[in-house]
Amino acid sequence: MLNSLFDVQGRTAIVTGASSGLGRTFARGLHAAGANVVVVGRRQSLIDALAGDLGEGAVGVVADVATTSGREQILEAALDRWSTVSILVNNAGTTVDTRPDARDEDLDEFARVIQVNLTGLFGLTQLVGRHMASNGGGSIVNIGSIYGIVASTGGASYVASKGAVHSLTKELAVQWGGVGIRVNAIAPGWFPSDMTKHVFDTPGGQRMLERQVPLGRGGREDELLGALLFLCSDASSYCTGHLLVVDGGYTAR
C-alpha cells in the first residue's frame, strides 16, 4: 500500500508554464513518476525540446492560457492523445518586469498579470473541471505564492493575483468536492527560475535569502516535487482546499 501511495502511473496531467522554471521541473517529475504529461507554454522551441526529451508519454502544446482559444487547444490536445485528464497543474504565471510602487503601477500591466495568473487559470480550470466532473474526478493543483500570503513590497498585481488564486482554490474545492475533484494549492517561497533571476543571480539577492529565509537559502528545483506529487496522487485523497506552503520557513516569521 505504501508503494502505491504516491502513484500517478498512467494518469494524464496537464502542466501549464512548462517551458521553463518550476513548470518544467513539475512536468519532468510527474513524467518520471509515470504520468502522461501535456506540457504547455508559448515558446515553441522550449516546449518542443521538453516534449522531445521526455519522449513517450509526453505531448507539447504551444498555447497561451490567457486566451479562450489557447485554453481550448490545451484540453483538446490532451483528450485527442489520452481521452481523459485527471491532473491539472496550473503553474503558468507572470509578473511585472520592474517592482513598481503601487502608485505608479500601470493599469494595463496590472490587467495583463491578472489575465494570465488568475483569469487564464480559472478559464482552464473551468474547462478541465467540466471534463473531470463527468469522468470520475481528478486533482487540480494551483501554484500560488508566499506573496499571496504576505506582502512583497513590489508588484501589487502579482500579490493580488496570487491571493486570489489561494481564495479561488478554496471556493472550487468546496463547490467540486461532491463531483470528486480535489483542488489544492502550493505556495512556493523563493526558487530559481527566469522570474527570480534578479534574486538568485545577485549578491544582494542571496544575502536577502540568507537573512529572511529561516533555512538560510533559496529552494532547490526538486524541493517542490514532494508537495506536488502528494497533492496529485491518492496520498492526499482526503485533502482539498489546502494551501501547502513550501518556503523554508519564510512566512513562519
Ligand X SMILES: NC(=O)c1ccc[n+]([C@@H]2O[C@H](COP(=O)([O-])OP(=O)(O)OC[C@H]3O[C@@H](n4cnc5c(N)ncnc54)[C@H](OP(=O)(O)O)[C@@H]3O)[C@@H](O)[C@H]2O)c1
Q: Please state, in angstroms and rounded to a whole number, the distance separating the CA atoms of residues 242 and 245.
A: 9
Q: Kindly list the distances between the CA atom of residue 1 and the CA atoms of 7, 8, 235, in Å, as whole numbers in the listed order.
A: 10, 14, 10
Q: Which of 96, 150, 195, 208 touches ligand X (CB under 6 A)?
A: 195
Q: Kindly list the distances between the CA atom of residue 92 and the CA atoms of 3, 36, 239, 248, in Å, as whole numbers in the listed order.
A: 31, 19, 23, 22
CB of 56 to ligand X, least distance (A): 22
**219 residue type, one letter:** G
207 binds ligand X (CB under 6 A): no
Q: Please state, in angstroms and rounded to a whole number, the distance separating the CA atoms of residues 60 and 47.
A: 6
CB 161 within 8 A of CB 114: yes
116 binds ligand X (CB under 6 A): yes
Using CB under 6 A as the criterion, what x/- string covers residues 208-247 for binding ligand X?
Answer: ----------------------------------------
CB of 239 to ligand X, least distance (A): 20
66 binds ligand X (CB under 6 A): yes
CB 193 within 8 A of CB 22: yes
Contacts of 139 (CB under 8 A, 6+ apart): 86, 87, 88, 181, 182, 184, 231, 232, 233, 236
Q: Stretches 28-36, 129-137, 184-192, 203-211: which one binds ligand X (CB under 6 A)? A: 184-192
Q: Which of 8, 75, 89, 143 touches ligand X (CB under 6 A)?
A: 143
Q: Please state, in angstroms and rounded to a whole number, the distance separating the CA atoms of residues 75 and 136.
A: 16
Among residues 24, 126, 36, which one has the least CA distance to residue 77? 36
The reply to whether 158 belongs to the active site is: yes
Lookup result for grid cell 492560457: 65
Q: Which of 8, 13, 27, 41 touches ligand X (CB under 6 A)?
A: 41
Q: Which of 54, 61, 64, 127 touches ligand X (CB under 6 A)?
A: 64
CB of 17 to ligand X, least distance (A): 3
The count of chain residues that interact with ligand X, using the rule CB under 6 A, is 30
157 binds ligand X (CB under 6 A): no
Q: Which is nearer to ligand X, 66 or 232 (CB)?
A: 66
Q: Which is nearer to ligand X, 135 or 200 (CB)?
A: 200
Among residues 17, 26, 22, which one has the least CA distance to residue 191? 22
150 binds ligand X (CB under 6 A): no
191 binds ligand X (CB under 6 A): yes
Point out which residues bind ligand X (CB under 6 A): 16-23, 40-43, 46, 64-66, 91-94, 116, 143, 145, 188, 190-191, 193-196
What residues are annotated to the active site?
Answer: 158
